[in-house]
Amino acid sequence: MIIPNCIRRKKMPLVNFAKITDKLTKMIQFGIVGGTMLILNVVILYTLTSLLGIYYIISAILSSLFLTGLSFYFNENWTFNSITHHKHKKMWHRIVSYYLVSLSGIIMNIIILFLLTDYGNVYYLYSSIIASFLVFLWRFHLNEKITWSGNQDL
């Protein structure tokens, strides 16, 4: 029996659960690294601002720049397992990519921190935590697509 094209059942693509699980695992690992850096950021931010009297924006910038290198190391070696999977892309390309993505995140983070603290009257440490959560998905997506992509070089 011949079935017309308009009636034929189309094959539905299979869901690639392995790919979804891998992405979710990477996002969780990126979140664990980010959460650890967030705790360290709060400690550094508090120390620089409340104990040493440095303006909170300057403290946030210094803390972010310091922690970016540390978070790259953990994301490179754990989250994206680059030692075995990214030999084709030079280490310095990944470092530059990561710092550029981080710089965009730091700028967004500082703007949110400033707006919440100075205009929203939110305590600066709470503002910092809120800003970090808001920027998390942005940084994960860009790092996955640019820094640790399988086929892109700078």
- Cα torsion for 60, 133, 29, 20, to the nearest 10°? -150
| pLDDT tens-place values along the chain, 154 residues long | 565 565 556 665 667 778 888 889 988 999 999 999 999 999 999 999 999 999 999 999 999 989 999 999 999 888 887 554 555 567 888 889 999 999 999 999 999 999 999 999 999 999 999 999 999 888 989 988 888 876 444 4
Model pTM score: 0.73
Dmax over CA atoms of the chain, in Å, equals: 84
Is residue 54 classed as helix, strand or coil in its secondary structure? Answer: coil
The secondary element (H helix, E strand) that includes residue 153 is: none
Q: Judging by beta carbons within 10 Å of its beta carbon (0-12, 13-18, 19+), is residue 4 exposed, middle or buried?
A: exposed
The tokens describing 59, both together, are 């403290």
Angle (nearest 5°) at CA 73 between 81 and 95: 95
Domain spans of the chain?
31-147
Residue 128's contacts (CB-CB under 8 Å, 6 or more residues apart) are 41, 42, 45, 60, 109, 113
